[in-house]
């Protein structure tokens, strides 16, 4: 059967790493491909598939599963990150191959595998079947360029005390590199994972980043000399950026159930630009001391605040903090709705890349409180490269004290520096929308990939 008779231009199998920050951008990209006539099948792990909220919102995307070897508990079931990642590679490779065969058997053969960069073994499986392999990186070009240079032995670790110089990046202090690099021995399993992304990258037919070109043009230009690199971001639901996909109003898959009504009802009562939104993401765990400092820093600032504290973390809140009348604490929020609300004044963020891109694309100023992994490098870019926020300084114990947080909030919300930050935020919002709109750089790159997939000389 020729591809033209299948009702779609090509069929791609999309394999995300099983974490919210990886699922969201890959699902959004799948929606974009679907709007252009490409059929995506989105394959989460069995455990993630069992844990999802709101999957009905993504029902236009075909869903499937592979196994990470821990179908009843995911990574929490494994005795260590190293054990989990090794089992995922072993079982994931086998079940991915089985899924590709199953899709052939039901008359839906796959043309390409779009895989999360954290899962390079998926590329090996794709090539065993003679399929196109598309690497999809959910961390920034800057961060991945650092990882590439470490993996190839060009940037030796442990780092010396000198500034780190990597092509396409500004000079970085060692502590501004990802924690997996500057604290090299602390996370052996994760270090192997992020460096191993480049073990077979030369076999990838395409390499995609969720950035847009003007945001990281120098490093994108450098990487383009190595691979077929394309920037296809920001990967936000269309109604928050270009507004061309009318039904695309949220990500559609949540691992935590948001308290949407409570958040929006509360925000609707607040004046424009008056609210501080605080979220440290889906994975980060603050220790009790840092949690207390954040709590009282927010309280002392006298700004209204909406703070996302996951249910598993709420026991760390100070006992008397619940008496604060200035804020609302929820276990999870509809973050895009929150950030785009007119009451939003600034975002206190851990600087996970999805959160940074959401704030940047929606024009929200940031106070950066990075914790680990790529967040330290992202925070450097937020403050010094893009000029859309301030990094909150830490003391000798690595804690952001309440006075520091309060000062940063006042500076962003009311200070002279805050005015410049908000002007930059508005500029980047405009550029983000331009990138994914008709004729924009990211839109052209997506169209180029679609044309490539459509023109594959494959028949069934």
Residue 213: per-residue pLDDT: 98
| pLDDT bucket at 55, cuts 50 / 70 / 90 | low
* Residue 413, domain member (yes or no): yes
**pLDDT computed for residue 457 by the predictor:** 53
* pLDDT over threshold 70, residue 54: no
Query: Do 115 and 189 reside in the same domain of the chain?
Result: yes
Residues 190 and 327 in one domain: no
H/E segment holding residue 305 = strand 304-308
Q: What is the pLDDT of residue 62?
A: 94
Task: Let me know whether 213 and 327 are in one domain.
Answer: no
Answer yes or no: is 145 within a domain.
yes
Q: What is the CATH number of the domain that holds 224?
A: 3.40.50.2000
Q: How many structural domains is the chain composed of?
A: 2
Asked if the model's pLDDT at residue 5 lies above 60, the reply is: no
Percentage of the chain surpassing pLDDT 90? 89
| Same domain, yes or no: 54 and 194 | yes
* 78-106 mean pLDDT: 97
Q: Which residues participate in catalysis according to the annotation?
A: 22, 116
Structural domain includes residue 61: yes
Does residue 339 sit within a domain? yes
User: Does the pLDDT of residue 428 top 60, yes or no?
Assistant: yes
Question: What is the C-alpha separation between 85 and 83, in angstroms, rounded?
Answer: 6
Cross-strand bridge partners of residue 97: none
- 403 and 278 both lie in a single domain: yes
Q: Are residues 294 and 418 in the same domain?
A: yes
Q: Is 21 a residue whose pLDDT tops 60?
A: yes
Residue 279, pLDDT > 70, answer yes
User: Is residue 251 a part of any domain in this protein?
Assistant: no
17 φ/ψ angles, rounded to the nearest 5 degrees: -70, 140
**Residue 163 reports pLDDT greater than 60:** yes
Could you give the angle at which helices 121-128 and 81-105 cross, rounded to 10 degrees? 20
Same domain, 178 and 286: no
pLDDT of residue 459: 43
| Residues 332-355: tens digit of each pLDDT | 999 999 999 999 999 999 999 999
Q: How far is CA 126 from the centre of its chain?
A: 24
pLDDT value at position 283?
83
Residue 272 and residue 334 in one domain: yes
pLDDT at 2: 47
| Residues 68/18, Cβ–Cβ less than 8 Å | yes
pLDDT at 99 over 90: yes
20-24, 270-274, 281-285, 426-430: range with lowest mean pLDDT:
281-285
Average pLDDT in the 291-298 region? 96
DSSP letter for each residue of 242-277? T--STT--S-S-BSS---HHHHHHHHTTSPTT-EEE
What was the pLDDT predicted at 123? 98
**Span 189-218, average pLDDT:** 97
Q: Which domain holds residue 13?
A: 3-244+438-454
- For 218-257, write each residue's pLDDT tens digit: 999 999 999 999 999 999 999 999 999 988 999 988 878 8
pLDDT interval class at 321 (50, 70, 90)? confident
Q: Are residues 181 and 319 in the same domain?
A: no
Q: Is 322 a residue whose pLDDT tops 90?
A: no
Q: What is the mean pLDDT of the chain?
A: 94
């Amino acid at each position: 059967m020729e591809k033209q008779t299948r009702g779609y231009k090509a069929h791609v199998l999309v394999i995300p790493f099983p974490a919210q920050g990886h699922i969201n951008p890959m699902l959004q990209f799948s929606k974009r491909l679907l709007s252009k006539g490409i059929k995506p099948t989105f394959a989460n792990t069995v455990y993630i598939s069992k844990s999802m909220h709101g999957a009905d919102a993504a029902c236009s995307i075909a869903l499937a599963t592979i196994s990470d070897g821990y179908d009843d508990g995911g990574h929490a079931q494994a005795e260590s990150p190293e054990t989990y990642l090794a089992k995922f590679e072993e079982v994931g490779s086998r079940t991915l191959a089985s899924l590709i065969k199953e899709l052939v058997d039901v008359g839906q053969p796959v043309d390409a595998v779009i895989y999360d960069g954290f899962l390079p073994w998926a590329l090996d499986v794709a090539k065993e079947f003679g399929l196109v392999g598309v690497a999809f990186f959910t961390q920034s070009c800057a961060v991945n360029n650092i990882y590439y240079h470490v993996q190839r032995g060009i940037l030796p670790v442990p780092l010396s005390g000198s500034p780190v110089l990597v092509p396409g990046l500004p000079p970085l202090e060692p502590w501004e590199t990802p924690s997996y690099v500057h604290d090299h021995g602390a996370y052996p399993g994760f270090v192997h994972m992020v460096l191993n992304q480049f073990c077979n990258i030369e076999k990838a037919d395409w390499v995609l980043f969720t950035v847009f070109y003007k945001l990281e043009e120098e490093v994108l230009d450098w990487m383009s000399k190595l691979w077929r690199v394309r920037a296809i971001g920001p990967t936000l639901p269309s109604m928050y950026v270009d507004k061309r996909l009318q039904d695309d109003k949220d990500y559609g898959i949540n691992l935590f159930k948001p308290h949407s009504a409570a958040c929006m009802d509360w925000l609707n009562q607040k004046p424009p630009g008056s609210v501080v939104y605080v979220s440290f993401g889906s994975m980060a765990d603050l220790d009790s001391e840092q949690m207390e400092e954040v709590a009282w820093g927010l309280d002392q600032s006298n700004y209204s605040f909406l703070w996302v504290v996951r249910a598993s973390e709420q026991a760390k809140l100070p006992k008397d903090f619940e008496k604060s009348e200035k804020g609302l604490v929820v276990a999870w929020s509809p973050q895009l709705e929150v950030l785009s609300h007119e009451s939003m004044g600034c975002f206190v963020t851990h600087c996970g890349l999805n959160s940074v891109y959401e704030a940047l694309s929606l024009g929200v100023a940031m106070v950066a409180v990075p914790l680990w992994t790529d967040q330290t490098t992202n925070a450097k870019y937020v403050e010094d490269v893009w000029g859309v926020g301030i990094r909150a300084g830490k003391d000798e114990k690595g804690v952001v004290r309440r006075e520091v947080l309060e000062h940063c909030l006042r500076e962003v919300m009311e200070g002279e520096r805050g005015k410049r930050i908000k002007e930059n935020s508005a500029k980047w919002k405009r550029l983000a929308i331009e990138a994914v709109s008709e004729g924009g750089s990211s839109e052209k790159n997506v169209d180029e990939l679609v044309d490539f997939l459509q023109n594959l000389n494959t028949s069934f």
